[in-house]
Amino acid sequence: MVLACWTFLLIIAGALVTSNDAGLSVPDWPTSFGSLYKIPKLVGGVKFEHTHRMIAQVAGLLTIVLAVWTWRAEKRRWMRILGWGALGTVIAQGILGGLTVLFYLPPPISSAHAALAQTFFCIAVVIAVFTGQKWVEEQPRVEFDTRRPSLFTLTLLSIFVLYVQLILGAMFRHHGLSWWPHVVHAVVVSFVLAWTAVRALTVYSNIEAVRRPAIVMLSLVIAQLCLGFTAFLTRVSWGRDSVQPELPMVISTVTHVAVGALLLASAVILAIQVWRHAPVAFEERLPQAQRDPSAA
C-alpha cells in the first residue's frame, strides 16, 4: 500500500516534469549535474526533474524491500514472482527514464516511460490488494457469470482500451502524435468502461467487492472526461501561443494524468474482483459416453 501511494506520487511528479517542459533540465543521467548524491539547487525546471528523480529512487528502494520481503515471507509462489516482477519493472522504468534523458526525449521512449509508470503503479496496487487482510481472510461470495460477453471479458477489454488510451495520450504529450487519436479514442474508452460499470452495477450490485470498484471506475471516467476537456482547452486551444507552461495547463494536465492512473488501477481491481466473485461459467464438454449415466 505504501509503495502504491508512493508510486502515485511519483506519477504526479513525472507528470509535473512533462507539463513544465523540464525533462532535460538536468542534462545527465544517472548522475545529476555530475553527482550521484548531491542535491542541486532546486530552482526552475531542476525543481521538478530532480524531485522526480529523488522520489523515483525511494520508489526503487521500496520495491527492493518489497521484493525481498515477498521472497522471504510470502508463501504464494505467484506473489513471489509478482514481487520480482515489480522489481524488474522498476529497473526497466529507471533505465527508460535515463534513456529518455540521454537521447533528448524521443517520443517513443518518453511514451514508453509514461506507460510503464502506470503499469508499475497497477502492479503495486495489485500487490496491495493481494496482500490486504480482506483478500487473505475473506470468504468470497461467488456468483457465476453466464452472460456473454462475460463481465470478466468486459473488464479485460476495459483495461485494454485504457492502456491504448494511455499510450495515445503519452504520445501526444511527448510530441509523437497529434491530439485527435487520443480524443477520438476517448469515445471508445467511455463506451467500454460505461458498459462494464453498468453491467457490474446492475448484475452484481449485491457484491460489495465488485460494486465498489465499479462505482469508483464510473466516477473516475466522468471526472477524467471533464479533466480531458479542460486539458484540451488549456493546452491545445488556449496554450498554443503561450511563452511558457501556464498554471491552468499544468494543473489540468497533471490531474488528467493522475486520474488516468487511478482509472487504470480501478479497472484492474475490478477485473480481479470480478475474477474472484463473478467467474465465467461454462458448460463442460464431456464426451457423450461419459455424459450418459447408463454408460457408467
Partner 1 sequence: MLRDKMPTAPCTAGVSPAVARASRPRPNQRESVNPQKGDIMKKTIWLIAVMCALLMLAACNKKEEAPAPAAETPAASAPAATPIDPATVATVSGTVKFDGAAPKQAKIDMSQDPGCKGTNEAENVVVTGGDLANVFVYVKEGLGNRTFDVPKDPVVLDQKGCQYHPHVIGVMTGQTVQIKNDDPTTHNIHPTPKDNREWNESQPPSSPALEKTFAREEIMLPVKCNQHPWMKMYVNVVKSPFYAVTDKNGKYEIKGLPPGDYTLEFVHEKLLPPQDIKVTVGPKDTKTVDASFKGM
- The residues of the shown chain that bind partner 1, judged by CB under 8 A, are 20-31, 33-34, 40-41, 43-47, 49, 75-78, 84, 88, 91, 95, 98-99, 102, 104, 130, 135-144, 146, 206, 241-245, 272, 275-276, 279-284
Q: Which residue lies nearer to partner 1 by CB, 57 or 146?
A: 146
Q: How far is the CB of 75 from partner 1 (least distance, A)?
A: 5
Rounded least distance, CB 24 to partner 1, Å = 4
- Quick one: how far is CA 253 from the chain centroid? 16
**At its nearest, how many Å lie between partner 1 and the CB of residue 203?**
9
Measured from the CB atom, the residue of 188 and 205 that comes closer to partner 1 is 205
Contacts of 287 (CB under 8 A, 6+ apart): none
Residue 287, burial from CB neighbour count under 10 angstroms (0-12, 13-18, 19+): exposed
Residue closer to partner 1 by CB (options 25, 196) is 25
**Shortest Å distance, C-beta 33 to partner 1:** 6
**In which residue are the cell numbers 537521447 written?**
103
Contact by Cβ (8 Å): 82, 70: yes
**CB of 26 or CB of 218, closer to partner 1:** 26
Alpha-carbon gap, residue 84 to 86, rounded angstroms: 5
CB of 129 to partner 1, least distance (A): 9
- For residue 32, the SS3 value is strand
Q: Which is nearer to partner 1, 43 or 295 (CB)?
A: 43
Nearest of 167, 93, 161 to residue 123 by alpha carbon: 93
What gap in Å lies between CA 110 and CA 170, rounded to an integer? 8
Provide the strand spans (E) within 233-273.
Answer: none
Q: Which is closer to partner 1, CB of 1 or CB of 222?
A: 1
Tell the smallest beta-carbon distance from residue 134 to partner 1 (Å): 10
Residue with cell 514472482: 81
